[in-house]
Structure 1
Amino acid sequence: MTKSVDIVAGIKIPDSAMAKAATELVQDTETDLLFHHSRRVFLFGALAGERKNLSYDPELLYIGAMFHDMGIMDRYASDTERFEVDGANAARDFLSSYDVAEREVDDVWDSIALHTTPGIPQHKRPIVALVTAGVEMDVLGIGYDEFPEAQRKEVCECHPRGLKFKHGILTSFCLGTIRKPETTFGNVKADVLSKMDPSYERRDFAEMILNSPWDS
């Protein structure tokens, strides 16, 4: 179990019964690398929300962040859906046990399903935008200099990246998609399999159009 920290970089970790249940479930299901990554996603997302003066429910942001990679794990992985959709479905099923409005459940679902689809989340409601902002900061370093060094340091002291996080997260993405490579069509995970799976063959959108059954 990770040590209990109530406030990190000025951000309060949600501690409702629902948030605690989510923490326990994710910690028991995911690898340590993904668990700490998910907590950092929440923290960086929340810090971005504060900087942008966005109004949002921290508890829903927490659920979106904590579940965003659950679809990588065998327990929640389907045979045919993108892992992002599997994670979104897992969060929706989890929230069904709590008194959460349908629109808010939809926001959490979208925040997870869209977190690897660049160019869209920032135009959606705050929960959706901030989960992606947290992911992009932690994985890609997008907006890195917008977070003061003290914030970055405190977040990573509480939830360490480790020396090999970059390679570890790529391996996690690969394991989450290698058995269903067709789900990478049109999204960034095609880049992951292209780099890490020698047998992977990227589908070409232009060729699909040219080879469709239409005459012209």
Structure 2
Amino acid sequence: MFPDTPAATAARTVGVRFYTPALLNHCLRSYAWGATYAAAHGIAFDDELLFVSALLHDIGLTGAFDSHLMPFEDAGGCLAWVFGLAAGWPPDRAARAEEIIVLHMRDDVSPEDDPESHLLQVATSWDVVGHRPDDFPESVRTQVVERFPRLGFSDEFVACFEDQAARKPASAAAASIARDGAARIRANLLDFPRHDS
């Protein structure tokens, strides 16, 4: 299911080391949702680049990499650039990972302009607030969530965003919380699976 490259393996190792289990599974689900959405919509993308970006997109929320100076997605993007160079990527490829991570908290990007950023935006907004439910069939939801359980993700993520908002009032996380983001996160239908008879 995941790309089998040294950089992808290293990104997963970083995730295991620094994320809580709930955040790690969110990152893994984000990749899975993005790849699923791409297949359903015929979007060609760079598999390794999406995986590494998905695995590192919330690293700026962790204690080790939280920056008091910049929004979590900017801090995570900077780390992804360093990670990419350390993985042997050329600077422009490392910069793409940084860009994808920063853009996942910005205005929508079209798949024609930037497929990986579009896929990470779609995947994370689905996993966090349940945006675009019609794009993710029930059978796919069940399979992905069973493989990577949510483990109280919504409450943990709300706490992360509320903390970011309090310390970084100009950030996208703060804007999300101001727009009733906590309630939208906690109402995500992925936390309330259907049990059809």
TM-score tier (shorter)? 0.7 to 0.9
Is 1:84 aligned with 2:73? Answer: yes
Change (3 A) 1:191 1:133: closer
Q: 1:87-106 CA distances to partner (integer Å, 9 max, x unpaired)?
A: 11111110011232443323
Alignment length, in residue pairs?
182
Partners of 1:107 and 1:128 within 8 A in 2: no
Q: Percent identity?
A: 27
In structure 1, runs of 5+ residues without a counterpart are 1-11, 197-216
TM-score after normalising by structure 1: 0.76
Is 1:175 aligned with 2:163? Answer: yes
In structure 2, runs of 5+ residues without a counterpart are 182-197
1:190-205 equivalence runs, <5 A: 190-192=175-177
Larger CA Rg, structure 1 vs 2 = 1
Is 1:189 aligned with 2:178? Answer: no
Q: How far apart in 2 are the matches of 1:132 and 1:65? A: 10
Which secondary structure does the structure 1 equivalent of 2:86 belong to?
coil
- Per the alignment, residue 166 of structure 1 pairs with 154
Partners of 1:88 and 1:110 within 8 A in 2: yes
Q: How far apart in 2 are the matches of 1:122 and 1:146? A: 15
TM-score after normalising by structure 2: 0.83
Q: What displacement does 1:108 show? A: 1.5
- Letter in structure 2 aligned against 1:180: K
One of 102, 106, 116 as aligned partner of 2:105: 116
CA RMSD, aligned part only?
2.2
- Per the alignment, residue 5 of structure 2 pairs with 16
Greater share of residues in helix:
2
Q: How far apart in 2 are the matches of 1:195 and 1:132? A: 19
Q: 1:160-185 CA distances to partner (integer Å, 9 max, x unpaired)?
A: 113x432221112223443333x32x
Q: How far apart in 2 are the matches of 1:121 and 1:81? A: 26
- Letter in structure 2 aligned against 1:165: F
Which secondary structure does the structure 2 equivalent of 1:74 belong to?
coil
Which secondary structure does the structure 2 equivalent of 1:152 belong to?
helix
- Letter in structure 2 aligned against 1:129: H
Q: What displacement does 1:140 show? A: 1.7
